[in-house]
Structure 1
Amino acid sequence: MSSSYLPATTESLALANEAKDPSEAISILYRVLDDPSSSPDALRMKEQAITNLTKLLTDENRGEDLCSLLTQLRPFFSLIPKAKTAKIVRGIIDSVAKIPGTSDLQIALCKEMVLWTRAEKRTFLRQRVEARLAALLMESKEYSEALTLLSGLVKEVRRLDDKLLLVDIDLLESKLHFSLRNLPKAKAALTAARTAANAIYVPPAQQGAIDLQSGILHAEEKDYKTAYSYFFEAFESFNALDDPKAVFSLKYMLLCKIMVNQADDVGGIISSKAGLQYLGPDLDAMKAVADAHSKRSLKLFEIALRDYKAQLEEDPIVHRHLSSLYDTLMEQNLCRLIEPFSRVEIAHIAELIELPTDHVERKLSQMILDKKFAGTLDQGAGCLVIFDDPKTDAIYPATLETISNVGKVVDSLYVRSAKIMA
Structure 2
Amino acid sequence: MSNESPEPMDLDSQEPEKSEMQLAYEEAKEVAAKGDNDKAISMFEKIIARLESEPSTDTVKWAENSIYAMADCLVAKKDSSRLFGLQKELRPVLTLMAKAKTAKIVRTLIDKLAEIDGATDLQIKACEECIEWCRESKRSFLRHRVETRLADLELQIHQYNKALEILTGLVKEVKKIDDKLLLVEIYVIETKVHFALQNIPRAKASLTAAKTNANAIHCPPLMQAEMDLLSGVISCRENDYRTAYSYFYEAFEAFNLQHDKVRAEQALKYMVLSRIMGDQPGEVFNILKGKAGLKYGGGRCFEGLEKVAKAHEQRSLHDFERTMQEYKKELGDDDAVLKYHLTELNESVLEQNLLKIIEPFDRIEIEHVAKLIDLPLRRVQKKLSEMILDETLLGTLDQGIGVLVVYDELEVGRGRLTVCSTIDACSNVVDSLYTKTTTMLFGNGGPKAKEAEVAAKTKGA
TM class, shorter-length: 0.7 to 0.9
**SS of equivalent residue, structure 1 residue 277:** helix
Deviations 1:255-275 (A, max 9, x none): 111112101110111110111
User: How do 1:240-259 and structure 2 match up within 5 A?
Assistant: 240-243=257-260, 244-259=262-277
Does structure 1 conserve the Cα–Cα contact (< 8 Å) formed by 2:99 and 2:141?
Answer: no
Please show how residues 45-124 of structure 1 align to structure 2 within 5 Å.
45-124=62-141
| Residue in 2 that maps onto 1:347 | 367
Q: CA deviation at 1:380?
A: 4.7
Secondary structure (helix, strand or coil) at the match of 1:364 reads helix
Q: For 2:149 and 2:122, how far apart are their aligned partners in 1?
A: 13
1:169 aligned onto 2:224: no
Partners of 2:100 and 2:128 in 1: CA distance: 20
Asked whether the equivalents of residues 346 and 384 of structure 1 are also in contact (C-alpha less than 8 Å), the reply is yes
What does the per-residue CA deviation read over 1:272-314, in whole Å, with 9 as the maximum and x for residues that have no partner? 0111111222222211211111111111111121122222222
Q: How does 1:7-406 map to 2 (within 5 A)?
A: 9-10=21-22, 12-19=24-31, 21-35=36-50, 37-40=53-56, 41-243=58-260, 244-278=262-296, 279-314=298-333, 315-391=335-411, 392-393=413-414
| Paired AA for residue 88 in structure 2 | T
Shift of 1:71: 0.6
Cα distance between partner residues in 1 of 2:75 and 2:241: 41
Cα distance change, pair 237–15 in 1 and its aligned pair in 2 (3 A): closer
Secondary structure of 1:181's aligned partner: coil
Deviation for aligned residue 1:234:
0.7
Change (3 A) 1:384 1:14: same
Change in CA separation of 1:349 and 1:81 when aligned onto 2, cut-off 3 Å = same
Instruction: Check whether the contact 1:38–1:79 (CA below 8 A) recurs between aligned residues.
Output: no
Shift of 1:134: 0.5
Measure, in 2, the Cα distance between the counterparts of 1:154 and 1:395. 53
Could you tell me whether the CA contact under 8 Å between 2:188 and 2:227 is conserved in 1? yes
Please list the CA deviations of residues 330-365 of structure 1 after superposition, one character each: whole Å capped at 9, or x if unmatched: 111001012223343333322322222211121122
**Per-residue deviation, 1:377:** 3.3
| Offset, 1:368 | 2.6
- Return 5+ residue gaps in structure 1 as ranges: 1-7, 404-422
* TM-score (normalised: structure 2): 0.80
Match of 2:14 in 1: none
Q: Which runs of 5+ in 2 are unaligned?
A: 1-19, 425-461
| % identical aligned pairs | 46
Which one is further off, 98-107 or 331-340? 98-107
CA 1:345/1:188 → structure 2, altered by over 3 Å: closer, same or farther? same
Q: 1:290 to 1:81 in 2, by over 3 A?
A: same
Q: 1:32 to 1:297 in 2, by over 3 A?
A: same
- Residue 13 of structure 1 aligns with an amino acid whose one-letter code is Y
TM-score, structure 1 as length reference: 0.87
Cα deviation per residue 1:153-200 (whole Å; 9 max; x = unaligned)? 011111111111111111111111111222222111111111111111
CA distance in 2, matches of 1:325, 1:71: 51
Q: Cα–Cα, structure 1 residues 271 and 78, in superposed 2: closer, same or farther, change >3 Å?
A: same
2:435 is matched with which residue? none
RMSD over equivalenced CA pairs, Å? 2.6
Task: Give the whole-Å Cα distance in 1 for the aligned partners of 2:99 and 2:190.
Answer: 28
